[in-house]
Chain A
Amino acid sequence: MSISINLSSTSSLLPENSLWEKKNYVINFEDYGNLFSISKNSKKKFDCEVKVIFFADLIDYSSLDLKKIKFYKEKLSKIIDMIDFQSSKNNQNIIYYSFYDQNEFHDKLHGVLISELSFFFQKNINRLTEKNNNLKIISLDNLFSNLGFEKNFDLRNYYLMKSRFSLAGIKKLSKSIFFHLSSEKKRKKVLLLDCDNTLWGGVVGEDGYNKIILGDEGIGLIYKNFQKVVKKLINSGVLIVLVSKNNEFDVKEVLKKNKNMILKEKDITAMKVNWQEKSKNIIELSKELSLGMDSFVFWDDNPIERKKVKMKVKGVTVIDPKKNIEEWPRQLASLNIFESGQLTKEDKIKTQLYKIRDDFVNNKKNYDDEVQYLKSINISVKVHEINKNNIVRAEQLCNKTNQFNLNLKRLNQKEIIKLTKNKNYDLKMLSLKDDYGDHGLIAIYGINYQKDQFKIDLFAMSCRVLGRYLENWILNKIKDYAKIKKKNFIHADFVKGPRNNIFKQFLLNNGFSNIRKKNETGVYKMNILNKIKYLEIYEKNR
């Protein structure tokens, strides 16, 4: 992966320092002060561009006064415009900025003026992030606030080498950059929370729903603030599951009746409140929600429970809460490992959608005749063209579907738009509704047809709706299309990923046969005379 780092000041980041060495990354340090790469390297393409902006380099803090505010606001606007323009060119952009005045030669008014400029910048730059999801804005001043400016900046280094940072500061920054680059692929979806001494103090089974420690003072306030952070995560799309050794009744009573609870029943996607091993609960949960272990984050105050989960279920991220519980709300808020980015309509109602899936799986278990059951739940499917209103969801389906996915092709918005304009390519999305609710847009497929070949190029479906044989219906649709195009065979190149074996099974179950094997890839082929099963479920939709 290649990264370009552009700075507003000279050698600020001390290139060649061993802190920058990371395997798999090629880092290009732009000529110093060349914030917008207007240089010989500017034609090179990088996977990611990082900018580090010190406003102390761009604003003369020593002579800042009211008259100059307008001038500097215009300057900031220009910078924001440039960021807007350049960020659309790259796949990923990270902007770090700092308004810190390292020399601190200022008067009283000075602080107010800098605050005003800082507010102006933040307000306008945040607008950009709303429309560009490939742009991340990070305040260095916030990033450094825990350790303090003294430790992260070094005035000596500034005077000697114009490097504003201390080694600790560079380390923190490089860690942050590499964290953001690597974590993109494996963002977590679900937070698994213990209850007693995690969401509240005390033991509900002994103390009762009203006597647990939770409130507006002392330790109770710490737990309350912890819940507030959880609530914030929920609002950004994280799913919450309670995994607790308790009587379910007791926990539900707290959720319903304790007035200090920030979390309510509706916020909780699923409850695994029982006396069986937590690892067993997590394995069950992974099946019920159709999510891999690497989607889960486990938070429990009890070190023994943590150790057991670490040992028995591989892949779950187990957090070790800090010793002092007053640190917890901050620790949780700064974990920074959960999925973020643009929220689609589907994200916003995700908790509800997963609940629907839970119900569906449970009801299906009780039915003897699967097809009859599926017929009875009134499934309806709709095919959608891709347009600017749903492209974010199309991108999501390509990038976040790991299980029911033909070849794990990760397309970005630009690439998707390109495909929609290709005359030999048919790209569609599907939405699904049934008695369990409106599931939204849940599948995407793309067909590439040339003179000699008709090939499924893209096929990804959200696992939330598995078990309805929708994939068969889609395949049949593709088959109909092949008939129109007068093709006798449908091809599909399966690419093996860590978790998409289910797709290979689907191909084999539906008359595809492997005609060539190449490392992890298998080329599959189906005769269009082949009959596809389970279509009667969708009779109404034909």
Chain B
Amino acid sequence: MKKIDDKLKKSLKIIFKKRDIKKIHNLKIGSFKEWDSLSHFNFLLQIEKDFKIRFNTNDFSTLITIKDISKKIKQKIGK
């Protein structure tokens, strides 16, 4: 789980250009002003790339918080 979170932190940093993201589990769309629906979409695509997984169409509307995203990734990569 820690590995997934560390990797997620990296994806977050790439998309939102934030240097000092520490705790990520409480974050969700809208947590900072750059995090709008378009950048959220870009963020999910970045995750797909970084974790080599693919979300389906429904996932895009349900995955709003980092917690959910992290859970989903775990499920997808079977850890």
Q: How far is the CA of A297 from the CA of B15 in the complex (A)?
A: 38
Binds A, one of B1-9, B24-32, B41-49, B66-74: B41-49
Question: Could you mark each residue 54-67 of chain B with 1 if its beta carbon is under 8 Å from any beta carbon of chain A, else 0?
Answer: 00110010000000
Which A residue's beta carbon lies closest to that of B49? Answer: A167
* A16 & B46 in contact (Cβ 8 Å cutoff): no
Question: Could you mark each residue 151-179 of chain A with 1 if its beta carbon is under 8 Å from any beta carbon of chain B, else 0?
Answer: 00000110111010001000000000000
* A16 & B38 in contact (Cβ 8 Å cutoff): yes
* A18 & B56 in contact (Cβ 8 Å cutoff): no
Q: How far is the CA of A161 from the CA of B38 in the complex (A)?
A: 8
Q: A156-B56, A160-B57, A160-B60 are in contact. Are A18 and B38 (CB under 8 A)?
A: no
Tell me the minimal C-beta distance from A540 to chain B in angstroms. Answer: 69
Q: How far is the CA of A393 from the CA of B56 in the complex (A)?
A: 55
> Does A11 make an interface contact (CB < 8 A)?
yes
Tell me the minimal C-beta distance from B1 to chain A in angstroms. Answer: 25
> Does A17 make an interface contact (CB < 8 A)?
yes
Question: Could you mark each residue 11-33 of chain A with 1 if its beta carbon is under 8 Å from any beta carbon of chain B, else 0?
Answer: 10011111000000000000000
Residues in B with CB closer than 8 Å to A16 are: 15, 38-39, 42
Which A residue's beta carbon lies closest to that of B46? Answer: A18
Residues in A with CB closer than 8 Å to B21 are: none
Which A residue's beta carbon lies closest to that of B44? Answer: A160
* A15 & B56 in contact (Cβ 8 Å cutoff): no
Tell me the minimal C-beta distance from A23 to chain B in angstroms. Answer: 15
Q: A167-B48, A167-B49 are in contact. Are A14 and B41 (CB under 8 A)?
A: yes
* A159 & B57 in contact (Cβ 8 Å cutoff): yes
> Does B14 make an interface contact (CB < 8 A)?
yes
Q: How far is the CA of A45 from the CA of B65 in the complex (A)?
A: 41
State which of B15, B41, B57, B60 has its C-beta within 8 Å of the C-beta of A18: B15
A: number of interface residues (CB 8 Å): 13
* B57 & A14 in contact (Cβ 8 Å cutoff): no
Tell me the minimal C-beta distance from A385 to chain B in angstroms. Answer: 54
Residues in B with CB closer than 8 Å to A167 are: 45, 48-49
State which of A14, A18, A159, A160 has its C-beta within 8 Å of the C-beta of B14: A18
Tell me the minimal C-beta distance from B8 to chain A in angstroms. Answer: 15
Q: A167-B48, A167-B49 are in contact. Are A14 and B56 (CB under 8 A)?
A: no
Which A residue's beta carbon lies closest to that of B42? Answer: A17
* B42 & A14 in contact (Cβ 8 Å cutoff): yes
Q: How far is the CA of A60 from the CA of B39 in the complex (A)?
A: 29
* B57 & A156 in contact (Cβ 8 Å cutoff): yes
- A residues 244-280 near B (Cβ < 8 Å) are none
Residues in A with CB closer than 8 Å to B56 are: 156
Residues in B with CB closer than 8 Å to A157 are: 41, 45
State which of B14, B38, B46, B48 has its C-beta within 8 Å of the C-beta of A11: B38
Q: How far is the CA of A24 from the CA of B17 in the complex (A)?
A: 18
Most buried by A among B15, B38, B42: B42
Q: How far is the CA of A15 from the CA of B57 in the complex (A)?
A: 20
Q: How far is the CA of A70 from the CA of B13 in the complex (A)?
A: 51
Q: How far is the CA of A14 from the CA of B49 in the complex (A)?
A: 15
Q: How far is the CA of A156 from the CA of B59 in the complex (A)?
A: 11
* A160 & B41 in contact (Cβ 8 Å cutoff): yes
Q: How far is the CA of A14 from the CA of B46 in the complex (A)?
A: 12
Most buried by A among B39, B45, B57: B45
* A14 & B15 in contact (Cβ 8 Å cutoff): no
* A17 & B57 in contact (Cβ 8 Å cutoff): no
Residues in A with CB closer than 8 Å to B46 are: 17-18
- A residues 121-167 near B (Cβ < 8 Å) are 156-157, 159-161, 163, 167
Tell me the minimal C-beta distance from B59 to chain A in angstroms. Answer: 10
Q: How far is the CA of A14 from the CA of B45 in the complex (A)?
A: 10
Q: How far is the CA of A160 from the CA of B63 in the complex (A)?
A: 13
Q: How far is the CA of A156 from the CA of B38 in the complex (A)?
A: 15
Tell me the minimal C-beta distance from B7 to chain A in angstroms. Answer: 15
Q: How far is the CA of A106 from the CA of B10 in the complex (A)?
A: 43
Q: How far is the CA of A11 from the CA of B42 in the complex (A)?
A: 11
Which B residue's beta carbon lies closest to that of A14? Answer: B42
Q: How far is the CA of A301 from the CA of B6 in the complex (A)?
A: 45
Residues in B with CB closer than 8 Å to A161 are: 38, 41
Tell me the minimal C-beta distance from B60 to chain A in angstroms. Answer: 5
Which B residue's beta carbon lies closest to that of A156? Answer: B57
Which B residue's beta carbon lies closest to that of A15? Answer: B38
Residues in A with CB closer than 8 Å to B14 are: 18
Q: How far is the CA of A171 from the CA of B1 in the complex (A)?
A: 30
* B45 & A17 in contact (Cβ 8 Å cutoff): yes
Tell me the minimal C-beta distance from B14 to chain A in angstroms. Answer: 5
Question: Could you mark each residue 366-398 of chain A with 1 if its beta carbon is under 8 Å from any beta carbon of chain B, else 0?
Answer: 000000000000000000000000000000000
Given contacts A14-B41, A17-B45, A156-B60, 7 further A-B contacts (CB under 8 A): A15-B38, A16-B15, A16-B42, A18-B14, A156-B56, A161-B41, A167-B49
A sample of 22 cross-chain residue pairs with beta-carbon separation below 8 angstroms, ordered by A number, consists of A11-B38, A14-B38, A14-B41, A14-B45, A15-B38, A16-B15, A16-B38, A16-B39, A17-B42, A17-B46, A18-B15, A18-B42, A156-B56, A156-B57, A156-B60, A157-B41, A157-B45, A160-B41, A161-B38, A161-B41, A163-B41, A167-B45
**What are the 10 A-B residue pairs with the smallest beta carbon separation, nearest first?**
A17-B42, A161-B41, A156-B57, A160-B60, A18-B14, A167-B45, A14-B42, A16-B39, A16-B42, A167-B49
